[in-house]
Structure 1
């Protein structure tokens, strides 16, 4: 479980009308993205994707992501630990990642997730200057550490469900393997799926 009292950090979707959670996927667009999209479409679920702009090749199915109602945010250019950079370096990294995604997709980028979940005052200042909402998470699935124990991903993601909680997932093969079951368990607990507002600040 993660939470922040900082007014610029989002860990919950508080602007929704029914009992819901937010699925978010980091570190794409990856080779397993089409499989993730197939599952989300089959389950009628929308999600948020935080992408490293260096991976956004034209051949990636970004248009399908948008056409099927998902949201694309930035996860920086190359997943560097931003707190090791100066304000100007952080600003340029985030700005360039946003420009790359917007140029490719033709859609404004509104949401930003710092790599490794690491940020400082410079990170938040840069994001705010760029009109971005900084999005963390409430529940971490730990999927990046659980390649050999995918069932534990489900347990981490579902043991502490809360209304509005943002769930951290990644575009990984082990996540694809458990995603249908994860979605079904969340639905069985009475939750639907929502997205964060996508208006620019």
Structure 2
């Protein structure tokens, strides 16, 4: 598969600048601590209960459910409440990070600047969209994706804004329809919206007309709310067939994405090695444990020596 270097987008360059500023701020805070400044506690992570949604699991040999966590063949591992690269504790006084419900800015890992993306040229598939679980790149990056949008966690906009990392939102149109404005601050913070059908059905085995309606219809509705029309998609539960990929192609969607890791109640679960690999796609959802899940994904990426990157910079 050929690789083509391309310049970073304006949004990507802005995110890199913000991440570099956060790295410098963390270094200054650490210097202050060594000089004898008082430090406050690191915000703890709660594990809120999950809303009553249908959850499917999978073994490492098969696909995991898009509405729930994947289960690897070995024990699930968690990044834990702290890890390498965690920003210093909040400094007491006016200059310290602001505390939020279930997280603080001190909980957010600090990353090296993302590399200039090397765009992947996807192979032709004879009228069908390609379907991937990772991006074929050797660059030290991983990709966070967040599904559905039914539960609109009040802390998500502030957390994404504070983290200064890009994410991809695979949104279900029915979940967005009741409150599109909830997602606008997420987009302002660097999120990009992609298609996840209109009503979240299992597409596999359904007719071409049904699948095209779900995929084209969701892309059209999301474009109406957020201006940009999606170019990527994720079928609900990760379930698809040849008809899905043909319908997606006919809807103008360039690629579909599975995942390699899932996050649930603050724990990262792996389908292969118990470590995020370069190019891996990570799945989480808009759920009650959103802060714990998002921070766990960031810690897992940091522990692997990788940096969060934007999926669309590589494949869209």
Using structure 1 for the length normalisation, give the TM-score: 0.82
Distance 2:168 2:200 in 1: 17
- Alignment correspondent of 1:167: 282
Change (3 A) 1:102 1:200: farther
Supply the RMSD in Å over aligned alpha carbons. 2.8
The CA deviation at 1:73 is 0.7
Rounded to whole Å, the distance in 1 between the matches of 2:309 and 2:224 is 26
Counting only pairs closer than 5 Å after superposition, residues 56-71 of structure 1 correspond to structure 2 as: 56=176, 57-71=178-192
- Out of 37-46 and 176-185, give the one that drifted further: 176-185
Could you tell me which of 210, 218, 223 is aligned with 1:89?
A: 210
Q: Report the CA distance shift for 1:94/1:198 in structure 2 as closer, same or farther (over 3 A).
A: farther
Match of 1:146 in 2: none
Q: 1:166 to 1:181 in 2, by over 3 A?
A: closer
1:128 maps to 249
Match of 1:14 among 109, 121, 136: 136
Q: Distance in 1 between matches of 2:301 and 2:228?
A: 30
Q: Which residue of 1 aligns with 2:74?
A: none
Task: Go from structure 1 to structure 2 and tell me whether the alpha carbon gap of 1:3 and 1:198 turns closer, same or farther (over 3 Å shift).
Answer: farther
Give the whole-Å Cα distance in 2 for the aligned partners of 1:155 and 1:92: 33
Contact conserved, 2:282 with 2:297, CA < 8 A, in 1? no
Post-superposition shift, 1:181? Answer: 3.8
Alignment of 1:1-201 (within 5 A): 8-14=130-136, 18-28=139-149, 30-32=151-153, 34-56=154-176, 57-141=178-262, 143=264, 150-151=265-266, 153-156=267-270, 159-197=274-312
1:104-129 deviation digits (Å, cap 9, x = unpaired): 11112111100110101110000011
Task: Report the 3-state secondary structure (helix = DSSP H, G, I; strand = E; otherwise coil) of the residue aligned with 1:82.
Answer: coil
- TM-score, normalised to structure 2, is 0.54
Partner Cα distance (2:61, 2:141) in 1: 17
Is there any run of 5+ residues in structure 2 with no aligned partner, and where? Answer: 1-59, 64-122
Residue deviations 1:8-28 (CA, integer Å, cap 9, x gap): 11222236x730100011111
Aligned residues: 191
| Higher RCO structure, 1 or 2 (CA under 8 Å, sep 6+) | 1
Provide structure 1 residue ranges, at least 5 long, that are not aligned to the other structure: 144-149
* C-alpha spacing 1:135/1:119, structure 2 compared with 1 (3 Å): same
